[in-house]
């Protein structure tokens, strides 16, 4: 599922090719598209959590939410010949990584096609949970989804997160971190990576965390998403290797996600996988103790075992 770093990667990629271009036509393959919105030139791209917004100079915006399997793929009409590398020079692709990144388009997952002066933007979505809509630029921040978003980790303070965690004090921290109204940005992958970097067990209760742990969670969230951004997220660059094979971008930064049964990179313990709030959850049983306090459940159990 595309998460914040993936959406930010697409935002940067599309900004590089779309700004200055005029939108000529828009064809929705599922449902109709409001007409009369064409002709605006792209002035910039914004991101609100995982919502991606293209802004035009006529006061209109085009918002995308990729949800589970959404992708945005831009193909230049005249590929530039300056760069070396495999096929698809002049392309930008991001979101749910699969063969549509490199295949012929439109394909059976294509939901809408946006024609610009120098290229075509395809919105693909296999499972159809994603959405796009045209709306006045001034109304983007009033969309219910946007208005309810919590601050992103880069704007979060320990005090603010503590206050927000206490509203869910009996819930497991992993579940609370997935709640975008508490803190925006973390999906399943980065919630697991964040808790690993913070050394916090995913089943700890949100109300039991101390200030030091809350600070480490904010740092962990920033660090894990920045590592992904640096590696390019699930973009065409990481999907299609130079030799033409397909890559898994997670291997570039993941410490625990998708590594059940493999050795922890820090302590060598086997990474465990459990279910928390019906989501597959990966963690290191040694680096992320269930209870931090001496005399807690884990410590007592360990003492008994030693006797
Ligand atoms: Zn470990």
50 is catalytic: yes
The hierarchical CATH code for the domain 153-299 is 1.10.8.50
> What DSSP string runs through the chain?
---HHHHHHHHHHHHHHHTTPBEEEEEESSS---SS-TTPBEEEEEEETTEEEEEETTSEEEEEE-TTTEEEEEEESS--SSS-SSS-TT-EEEES-SGGGTS-SS-TTEEEEEEESSEEEEEEESSS--EEEEEEGGGGGGSHHHHHPPPPGGG--HHHHHHHHHTTTTSBHHHHHT-TTTSSS--HHHHHHHHHHHT--TTSBGGG--HHHHHHHHHHHHHHHHHHHHHTSSBHHHHB-TTS-B--GGGGT-SSTT-TTSBPTTT-PBPEEEEETTEEEEE-TTTS-S--STTSHHHHHHHHHH-
* Segments making up each domain of the chain, as ranges: 4-148, 153-299
Ligand 1: centre distance to CA 212 (Å): 19
In this chain, the answer to whether the domains covering 4-148 and 153-299 adopt an identical fold is no
Write down the catalytic residue from 5, 6, 50, 259. Answer: 50
What distance in angstroms lies between residue 165's CA and the mean position of ligand 1's atoms? 25
Dist. CA 289 → ligand 1 center (Å) = 10
Catalytic residue among 265, 279, 285, 286: 279
Q: Look up the pTM and report it.
A: 0.82
Q: Ligand 1 centroid vs 284 CA: distance in angstroms?
A: 5
Q: Residue 264 C-alpha to ligand 1 middle, in angstroms?
A: 5
Phi, psi of 133 (to 5 degrees): -155, 150
Tens digits of pLDDT across the chain (307 residues):
678 888 898 899 899 999 999 999 998 875 556 554 788 999 999 999 889 999 999 999 999 998 888 889 999 887 655 444 444 567 888 787 777 887 888 989 899 999 999 999 999 988 878 889 899 999 999 998 899 999 999 999 999 999 999 999 999 999 999 999 999 989 899 999 999 999 999 999 999 999 999 999 999 999 999 988 887 766 666 666 555 566 666 777 889 999 999 999 999 999 999 999 899 999 999 999 887 554 344 444 444 444 4
The backbone torsions φ and ψ at residue 195, rounded to the nearest 5 degrees and listed phi first, read -65, -35
Please confirm, yes or no, whether 279 is among the known catalytic residues.
Answer: yes
Return the CATH class of domain 4-148: alpha beta
């Amino acid at each position: 599922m595309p998460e914040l770093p993936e959406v930010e990667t697409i935002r940067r990629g599309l900004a590089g090719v779309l700004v200055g271009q005029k939108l000529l036509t828009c064809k929705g393959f599922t449902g109709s598209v409001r007409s009369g919105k064409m002709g605006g030139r792209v002035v910039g791209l914004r991101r609100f959590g995982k919502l991606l917004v293209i802004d035009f100079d006529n006061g209109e915006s085009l918002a995308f939410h990729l949800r589970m399997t959404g992708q945005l793929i831009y193909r230049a009409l005249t590929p530039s010949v300056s760069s070396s590398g495999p096929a698809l020079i002049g392309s930008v692709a991001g979101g749910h990584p699969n063969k549509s990144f490199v295949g012929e388009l439109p394909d059976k997952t294509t939901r809408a096609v946006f024609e610009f002066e120098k290229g075509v933007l395809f919105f693909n979505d296999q499972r159809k949970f994603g959405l796009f809509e045209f709306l006045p630029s001034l109304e983007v921040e009033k969309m219910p989804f946007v208005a309810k978003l919590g601050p992103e980790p880069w704007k979060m303070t320990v005090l603010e997160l503590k206050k927000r965690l206490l509203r869910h004090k009996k819930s497991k921290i992993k579940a609370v971190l997935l709640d975008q109204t508490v803190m925006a940005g973390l999906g399943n992958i980065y919630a697991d990576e964040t808790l690993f970097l913070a050394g916090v067990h995913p089943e700890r209760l949100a109300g039991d965390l101390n200030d030091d742990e809350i600070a480490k969670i904010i740092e962990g969230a920033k660090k894990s998403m920045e590592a992904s951004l640096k590696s390019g997220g699930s973009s065409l660059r990481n999907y299609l290797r130079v030799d033409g094979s397909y890559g898994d971008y997670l291997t570039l930064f993941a410490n625990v996600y998708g590594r059940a049964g493999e050795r922890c990179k820090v302590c060598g313990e086997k990474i465990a996988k459990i279910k928390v709030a019906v989501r597959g959850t990966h963690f290191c049983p040694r680096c992320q103790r269930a209870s931090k306090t001496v005399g807690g459940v884990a410590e007592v159990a360990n003492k008994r075992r030693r006797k």
